[in-house]
Structure 1
Amino acid sequence: MEIDHGKCKQGIAERSTPGCYIKTRHVLAVMMFLGVFNSYFMRINLNVAIVAMVSQSVHNSITNVTECPDRGASYILNNTVSNAVFKWDRAQQGIALGAYYYGYVLTGLVGGYLTNRFGVKMVMGISMLLSSIISILSPTFAHWGFTVFVIARVLLGFLQGVTLPAVQSAWGKWAPPLERSRLVAISFSGMSFGVFFTSLVTGGIAENYGWEAIFYISGTVTLLWTIAWFGTVHSWPQSHPRISIHEKDYIIKSIGLNLNREKAPQIPWTAILKSVPAWAITVAHFCGLWGACTFMAMLPTFMATILRFSLTASGAWTAVPYVLQFLLVLVAGHISDELRMRGVLSTIAVRKLNTSLALAIPATLVALVGYVDCNVHAAVAMFSVAVAFNSLTVSGCESNTIDLAPQFGGVVYGIANTIANISGFLAPQMAGMLLQHDDSMHGWRMVFWLTAAVYLFGEIFYLIFASGEEQHWGSGKQSSLIEAKYTAMQPTKGSGHSL
């Protein structure tokens, strides 16, 4: 019988299952990765599609902006947008791009609650099923009118707001403590991959099959995933019909080590809302996400209308930064833990260093990119580095929640993330307003300077008010109880291993 000695340190070992057996928690991780990927596929598909949806004749500034040489943009005008019949001005485009987040912020706090009550299978499955239908019908909604299309995008965000909290909540029931970081990371990596993939392929889809195909494909892929989800996933290991007895016992007992409490601690809502360090996290997260949403929503348009790439090339260049982002966030997380474990830097020093790099470097680069004119390589390099470093908020302010409140880190993050996602509709709307009457490089400089100012405000606020100390309201009274039960379950010498 094989024993994982890493798990034996916890006092609980998992027996290997005979034969060819794929662990159900690993299947769940893959399905969640694909689910998060599909969520982002439907979330940001409009960022590229809108370039092909809107009739360029309504933007005299677009057709007249010839500061940079044509790199395929004329193809958009002459071919791709032959079915682009919507006369939405820049302000309306900003509203359409941000509409998703109006709905998203409404359900971010309830995703975990719904998952605890109804299970991740139903919550995430129904959310994605309805979202796929909305995506498939999006071209029809657009033809019905701008208001109908915006309402559909708001509803899509409303349905998708539960996705990430549902994933986090589900792993509280499925992930053994020593595997939790790995399984959550696999699931959430669908975000970066989703942005990369969507940016890479949607331009080519629009050019070859029309912008409607973007919504049809993303909705159909999600619908197929939903069928697989309902067929393979179960909300709790106790009720899974195909899980091995060894894996089920291991999951239940290892998680019971952390969940076997006499009484769940009461959430200190008032103390959280009055906490200055918690607000420092919220402000920094908001400012970092402002820049991220500006890049995701507006970068394809900048590539197509200013640098004058074709939609395919525009999408490909837009995808480059997210490959770097995916790699950097993994490396930064490892380095941050090493610095703390070796005593090189304190926890708050690591958090502030990461947050400073995540906000200051993008602020500098995004301010400068408006002055490189038509130097494509310089522009793409600056955007790539800015987007990549923006991801360091994960190892910075976003990880700071658990430092302040080990018992309530998820609650603090839920509040901060809900407020931060307001930038999802504010950022593209502000960009649309600034570009409404000046769609030239000068107008885009205004957008970039605004983004840089928001970045710097977040950095300064966080450096002044952030803390790495556990707050007086952040520690539940159950810690000693858990530790006592943990110690009691440690195996004695010669007692063998337990399940």
Structure 2
Amino acid sequence: METGADVRVTGRPRSGSCKMERFGEEEEEDRQPLLSGEPRTKAVSACCSSRFVLAILAFWGFFVVYALRVNLSVAMVAMLDNATVPKNGSVEACPPHSNSTQHNYMKKGKVYNWDSDIQGWILSAFFFGYIVTQIPGGYLAGRFGGKLLLGFGILGTSCLTLLTPPAASLSAYCVIVLRVIEGLGEGVTFPAMHAMWAKWAPPLERSTLVSLSYAGAQFGTVVSLPLSGIICYYLDWSYVFYIFGAFGVAWCLLWFLLASDTPETHKTISTAERDYIISSLRGQHAVMNYVPWGSLWKSLPLWAIIVAHFCYNWTFYTLLTLLPTYMEEILQFDIQENGFLSALPYLFCWMVMISVGLIADYLIKKRHFTTSAVRKMYTIIGMIGPAIFLVAAGYIGCNYIVAVLFLTISSALGGFSMSGFNINHLDIAPSYAGILLGITNTFATIPGMVGPVIAKALTFDHTIAQWRTVFYIAAALDIFGAVFFTIFGKGVVQSWAVNH
């Protein structure tokens, strides 16, 4: 946003700019202002601002959220007794690398003889708790604020993570129960943060601020996967849970000290920034203090987000939980290589997510594209692109370099979706953004519950052909979700979200 510029966006795009009517939005959407009210104050730079500090805090918060979520994927490789894990018996099996240290690696710590079914349930158990608190979390955050909800959710998960090693010593079922409870705590995090951004993010900065904060999830994956591998190699797998759990507790102390639910309650925000944020959001929020559930459930734009979120997460959660397994069983990488190479796709996804968020806001600010067009373009790239490279990865056999390259490109392109359907809740209903994210994340958690179980069931012989089937299913869902959102998605505040 240009300093001092009038941030109201009205009228049709400038002459020569693309209206993107081919994306299916109705003609009146080009006339719909992005902002319902005109700020009385000039734009205040986001650099070193309170909203930028909030984004950085949230970034590290979601770093913790995903570090605690995915470290089990690598630790699981070190927790299992090799004698009970069937190896590739197919002619499609990849030979061990000439530089692999797998044969020299001695697992440290106690190992367990959990079969594939138990492994699948352990990896998916988190999501059975995660799905329960999505909508309640969004509702509570909308009514009472998201700061305490998000903080205590992460604090509880961090403390429970510290208990994972003793739980594993008792039984696999104790680990399953523990992961379910951890899911309950983390289930409130994204809805709570969305509710906070509805009060903090000026509409023309949404893509940048939200993408930056949620990019912490990808960065948490990038760091925790290789670091977990290193910890397992040099220490033992139990330290994976102790180290990340302690880091989560430390972050919570900073969050409670520095974060605020709204600009009005922030103790150190400048008057200019507070007035700018409030004025930029004028007319975007509902006056009545209740949720229009009937209109909400009948909203096609909301269902467009639900479908896209569900389909995208099928691919995301399948790879998130099982990529280390694929790296070990099919590509035969050792525990150190496994962690680093499993993290590589998420490193590039993190980089893409932040950069394309800036571009998305630029396109909207300059009126080159409508909000709807930007959300749909980014969703198409962020879902169909990954589908293509995921399927291709299943056909390159044991070419290790190309396999990792295709999986990396697939995940990197997925970063576009953050500025697509992922933040569209804030466009169509800012007042209920937390509830809407709770709803869409509830549906989108189902793939995390059943995806790993189905993938484990389909890959019982641990062959490339069976993994190819897993990739086909994920790709088909990605394409369907992108098409559905392109047809029914919208980029403007819906009438039921402001007038009732």
Give the TM bin, normalised by the shorter chain. 0.7 to 0.9
Q: Which residue of 2 aligns with 1:428?
A: 452
Amino acid in the other structure paired with 2:387: A
1:7–1:178 CA contact under 8 A, matched in 2: no
Q: CA deviation at 1:351?
A: 3.8
Determine if the alignment matches structure 1 residue 33 to structure 2 residue 59: yes
Range moving further from structure 2, 63-72 or 85-94: 63-72
1:369-427 deviation line (CA, Å, top 9, x unaligned): 12211101110111011111122222333344455556655543432222112111211
Range moving further from structure 2, 373-382 or 333-342: 333-342
Among 212, 215, 219, the alignment partner of 1:193 is 219
1:175–1:251 CA contact under 8 A, matched in 2: no
Distance 1:342 1:150, change over 3 A: same
Distance 1:51 1:23, change over 3 A: same
1:363–1:456 CA contact under 8 A, matched in 2: yes
1:135–1:219 CA contact under 8 A, matched in 2: yes
How many positions carry a matched residue from both structures?
467
Q: Which residue of 2 aligns with 1:208?
A: 234
Range moving further from structure 2, 294-303 or 67-76: 67-76
Distance 1:28 1:58, change over 3 A: same
1:70–1:308 CA contact under 8 A, matched in 2: yes
Distance 1:10 1:178, change over 3 A: farther
Among 55, 72, 94, the alignment partner of 2:81 is 55
1:13–1:250 CA contact under 8 A, matched in 2: no
SS of 1:83 mapped into structure 2: coil
Distance 1:340 1:474 in 2: 24
Q: Which residue of 1 aligns with 2:499?
A: 477
1:159-205 deviation line (CA, Å, top 9, x unaligned): 01111222232344555667665443432221121111112211111
Distance 1:99 1:456 in 2: 27
1:56–1:62 CA contact under 8 A, matched in 2: no
Structure 2: runs of 5+ lacking an equivalent: 8-37
Q: Which residue of 2 aligns with 1:301?
A: 325
Distance 1:23 1:364, change over 3 A: closer
Amino acid in the other structure paired with 1:213: Y
Distance 2:208 2:375 in 1: 21
2:208–2:357 CA contact under 8 A, matched in 1: no
TM, length-normalised to structure 2:
0.82
The aligned runs of 1:112-151 (5 Å cut-off) are 112-116=138-142, 119-151=145-177
Distance 1:174 1:459 in 2: 29
Q: Which residue of 1 aligns with 2:377?
A: 353
Q: Which residue of 2 aligns with 1:466?
A: 488
The aligned runs of 1:224-239 (5 Å cut-off) are 224-235=250-261
SS of 2:210 mapped into structure 1: helix
Amino acid in the other structure paired with 1:52: A
Amino acid in the other structure paired with 2:39: Q
2:330–2:464 CA contact under 8 A, matched in 1: yes
Distance 2:485 2:396 in 1: 30
Determine if the alignment matches structure 1 residue 452 to structure 2 residue 475: yes
Q: Percent identity?
A: 33
Distance 2:362 2:265 in 1: 39
Among 287, 295, 304, the alignment partner of 1:271 is 295
Among 36, 39, 44, the alignment partner of 1:10 is 39
Q: Which residue of 1 aligns with 2:278?
A: 255
Structure 1: runs of 5+ lacking an equivalent: 17-21, 479-499
Q: CA deviation at 1:94?
A: 1.5
Q: Which residue of 1 aligns with 2:24?
A: none
Distance 1:216 1:250, change over 3 A: same
Q: Which residue of 2 aligns with 1:419?
A: 443
SS of 1:371 mapped into structure 2: coil
Q: Which residue of 2 aligns with 1:493?
A: none
Q: CA deviation at 1:134?
A: 0.7
1:57–1:63 CA contact under 8 A, matched in 2: no
Range moving further from structure 2, 446-455 or 34-43: 446-455
Distance 2:153 2:305 in 1: 29
Distance 2:324 2:227 in 1: 12
Amino acid in the other structure paired with 2:339: G
Among 302, 308, 313, the alignment partner of 1:284 is 308
1:445-491 deviation line (CA, Å, top 9, x unaligned): 2222222232233234444x42437586445239xxxxxxxxxxxxx
The aligned runs of 1:160-179 (5 Å cut-off) are 160-174=186-200
Distance 2:244 2:204 in 1: 35
TM, length-normalised to structure 1:
0.82
1:70-111 deviation line (CA, Å, top 9, x unaligned): 238974565343535211222221111111111111112222
1:61–1:440 CA contact under 8 A, matched in 2: no
Distance 1:461 1:29, change over 3 A: closer
1:49–1:203 CA contact under 8 A, matched in 2: yes
Q: Which residue of 2 aligns with 1:482?
A: none
Amino acid in the other structure paired with 1:315: G
Distance 1:305 1:469, change over 3 A: closer
2:161–2:241 CA contact under 8 A, matched in 1: yes
Amino acid in the other structure paired with 2:213: S
Distance 1:256 1:49 in 2: 48
1:80–1:206 CA contact under 8 A, matched in 2: no
Among 326, 345, 349, the alignment partner of 1:325 is 349
1:73–1:311 CA contact under 8 A, matched in 2: no
Q: CA deviation at 1:142?
A: 1.0
Distance 2:196 2:224 in 1: 26
Amino acid in the other structure paired with 1:92: I
Distance 1:249 1:117, change over 3 A: farther
Distance 2:426 2:155 in 1: 33
Q: Which residue of 2 aligns with 1:384?
A: 408
Q: Which residue of 1 aligns with 2:245?
A: 219
SS of 2:150 mapped into structure 1: helix
Distance 1:453 1:120, change over 3 A: closer
Rg larger in structure: 1
Distance 2:450 2:232 in 1: 27
Amino acid in the other structure paired with 1:456: I
Range moving further from structure 2, 466-475 or 453-462: 466-475
Q: CA deviation at 1:30?
A: 2.9
